[in-house]
Structure 1
Amino acid sequence: MPTNTRSASGSWVRSDIKLTGKTVIITGANTGIGLETAIDLVKREARVIIACRSLERGGDAKNRILEETNCDEEKVVVKQLDLSSFESVRKFAADVNASEERLDILINNAGIMGSSVKKTSDGFEINVGVNHLGHFLLTNLLLDLIKRSAPARIVVVSSEAHKQAKRIQWDKLNTENSSSSFGKYAESKLMNILFVKELVVRLEGTNVSAYALHPGAVQTDLWNHMFDGDVSCWRSCLRCCTYPIRRVAFKTAVHGAQTSIYCAIATELANVSGKYFSDCKIASESSAAKKLEDAKRLWEVSEELTGLTLTQQTT
């Protein structure tokens, strides 16, 4: 397909491009837009690794994919990954590096919109720990394999919610405050975009591209986590009152998956990297998400918090 041909029409992918021989990892692909992304890419003949916390739910997702695509069973692999645990991330990455010959596309899709009174197993605020630090560590541990598979792509699912975070609160990355759960979520989504900005700098000359994206307002299980562990009356009312609105006004998971699919397969993006996408086209991120000095600082802080610097020194 000519590179000047659009792979999408409006907010829907229309290209029938195949991914034969390609291996893809999608985090959180057992539900929501991750699952729909997996179904689409398997239909394109990719081999997809579903990375999720629950092997049981991952198995259910695999069965659904096999049923909907009629593909061979070996085209869908389920591996356990808990992004709230650095130990789990390292174990998963070691497994992939030992067992896989290539990794053509990594889609950092999993996310949580959780109460900030929660912590990861490593002691980090849950939104920042899962949405940014877990994926930061995972990507870096798989980066050599991705580079060897070039041309390759890294797709990071962010959100328009990043615009609610005016800056990174460097001195409050681990703040526990139940009233700021959405604020910490927004900050973690800002981190997703800044991560991509610095990643493309470090990937220069490798033929590996990276993209951040907003999937749209999507009715998925993510919304349920916004209320986890919070029994306050107003939040319970908000959950109940917004449900019918979300059902009518929000995108379906299939529609929400389109921009992830677009960034993964669009041939016209072969020489594009570091951009932010929404509805299958380049969109404008916030001014805070364009601060390259913050992107560099976030990378350095994240290296220290995840222990990545120590790992690099000992390998």
Structure 2
Amino acid sequence: MSETWTTANIPDQHGRVAVVTGANAGLGYETAKALAERGASVVLAVRNVEKGERAAAGMTGDVSVQALDLTSLDSIRTAAAALRSRLDRIDLLINNAGVMYTPRQTTRDGFEMQFGTNHLGHFALTGLLLDRMLPVPGSRVVTVSSTGHRIRAAIHFDDLHWQRSYSRAAAYGQSKLANLMFTYELQRRLATHGTTVAVAAHPGLSSTELARNTPAALRVPLALVAPLMLQTPAMGALPTLRAATDPAALGGQYYGPGGRNEITGHPRLVTSSPESYEVAVQQRLWAVSEDLTGVTFPVIPQHHHSLGERAAV
């Protein structure tokens, strides 16, 4: 396995269709751009269509834009319907968009903003698009998590939306832990289908707009260390791109930077926190997510196949 994996390692993507959420800037932009350059037809699924059109103009290849606001189930359903009407297949769904360390606020549907956007929005979108993926050999759902999934890691079923008290960092950690649990449970449910697989990735510490809600007390120290610690968005996108395109990738795997503490470096296989692998919690989170979003998946109920079904290519 190459440990200096770069965009040069991406196989030819002609004939493949990729939907990338949050693709108008940062990691999503770099992910979409690389896939388009290798021949994929790429849809930028973004909240701000004007910014999306500007991003698309900066890419070469077959790139289009779809309005998608992950803070609104109505918008997610509308976007999914539009994508289903124009795409007869989806090879890659890249659940990349996210918010981080937001002040306490809720989505249009009353969900805590970080959990609602990062997890529930992508859960709903994936469920609504999955039947465009299941017939496609080698199709993949790639969900972007974070090393932040280890921060006070727990799914707070007794107060999922932080109505009793609120911690920006712990709420972000919950949302990113949920991303991983969703990936692992989705893979378990997909395992008998043999076509679509679910893979996760994280970017390490990358210089993007995601940290714009960092508390004021941390901004100056972060600004001082950023040039020394942070990788470029292009480097931060590599784990996602490897999870999406490496022919050797297996369902249920997790990719991140290969450097010390997974902060920077070329992408390699990594492991997530022990909490993320708790099957009973994954399944409880799935059931709660179905209830909250009203979205059920067109796959068989969970069973107990192990993680690690090879992705067809």
TM-score range, shorter chain: 0.7 to 0.9
Q: CA deviation at 1:114?
A: 3.6
Cα 1:36/1:311, change in 2 over 3 Å: closer
Q: Which residue of 2 aligns with 1:230?
A: none
Aligned amino acid, residue 205 of structure 2: A
**Matching residue of 2:28:** 34
Q: Which residue number in structure 2 is paired with residue 250 of structure 1?
A: 230
The answer for the alignment partner of 1:200 in structure 2 is 187
Q: SS in structure 2 opposite 1:151?
A: coil
Per-residue CA deviation, residues 111-152 of structure 1 (Å, 9 max, x unaligned), is 000425111010010000000000000000001111122320
* 1:209 aligned onto 2:224: no
Report sequence identity in percent: 36
1:182 paired residue number: 169
> Kindly tell me: are residues 309 and 284 of structure 1, through their superposed partners in 2, closer, same or farther at Cα, counting changes over 3 Å?
closer
Q: Which amino acid aligns with 1:274?
A: G
* Divergent runs of 4+, >6 A: none
What displacement does 1:282 show? Answer: 1.6
Q: Is the 8 A contact 2:181 2:277 kept in 1?
A: yes
Q: Determine helix, strand or coil for the equivalent of 1:305.
A: helix
What is the CA-CA distance between 1:205 and the residue it aligns to?
Answer: 2.3
Displacement of 1:16 after TM fit? 4.6
Residues in 1 aligned to 2:65 and 2:7: alpha-carbon distance in whole angstroms: 26
Q: Does structure 1 conserve the Cα–Cα contact (< 8 Å) formed by 2:242 and 2:255?
A: no
Distance (whole Å) between structure 2 residues aligned to residue 11 and residue 17 of structure 1: 12
Question: Following the alignment from structure 1 to structure 2, what is the Cα–Cα distance between the partners of residues 237 and 298?
Answer: 33
Aligned residue-pair number:
289
Cross-structure match for 2:243: 263
Match of 2:43 among 49, 58, 64: 49
SS at match of 2:111: coil
Contact 1:118–1:176 (8 Å) recurs in 2 = no
What is the rounded CA distance, in whole Å, between the counterparts of 2:122 and 2:297 in structure 1?
18
* Distance in 2 between residues matched to 1:137 and 1:16, nearest whole Å: 28
Match of 1:153 among 140, 152, 168: 140
TM-score if structure 1 supplies the norm length? 0.87
- Partner AA of 2:154 in structure 1: R
Q: Which amino acid aligns with 2:108?
A: S
Does residue 218 of structure 2 align to residue 238 of structure 1?
yes
Tell me how far apart the structure 2 counterparts of residues 177 and 50 of structure 1 sit (CA, whole Å): 36
SS in 2 for 1:284: coil
Measured after TM superposition, the shift of residue 284 of structure 1 is 1.5
Code of the residue aligned with 2:227 in structure 1: it is R
Counterpart in the other structure of 1:59: 53
- Aligned-partner residue type, residue 109 of structure 2: D
Instruction: In structure 2, give the amino acid aligned to 1:167.
Output: A
Matches within 5 A, 1:1-315: 6=1, 8-10=2-4, 12-65=6-59, 69=60, 71=61, 75-176=62-163, 180-206=167-193, 207-224=195-212, 226-227=213-214, 235-269=215-249, 272-279=250-257, 280-309=267-296
Tell me the distance in 1 between the aligned counterparts of 2:224 and 2:209: 15
Change (3 A) 1:291 1:309: same
Contact 2:10 2:245 survives alignment (8 Å): no
Q: CA RMSD for the aligned pairs?
A: 1.9
Q: How far off its partner does 1:177 sit? A: 6.9
- The offset of 1:159, in angstroms, is 0.6
* Aligned partner of residue 148 in structure 1, secondary structure: coil
- List runs of 5+ in structure 2 lacking aligned partners: 258-266, 300-313
Q: 1:277: how far off?
A: 1.5
Report the alpha carbon displacement of residue 101 of structure 1 after superposing the two structures with TM. Answer: 1.2
Deviations 1:194-252 (A, max 9, x none): 0011101111222111111111101100000x24xxxxxxx323223312312331010
For residue 262 of structure 2, what is the aligned residue in structure 1? none
Please give the alpha-carbon distance, in whole angstroms, between the structure 2 residues aligned to 1:283 and 1:143: 26
1:176 Cα shift?
4.0
Aligned to 1:3: none
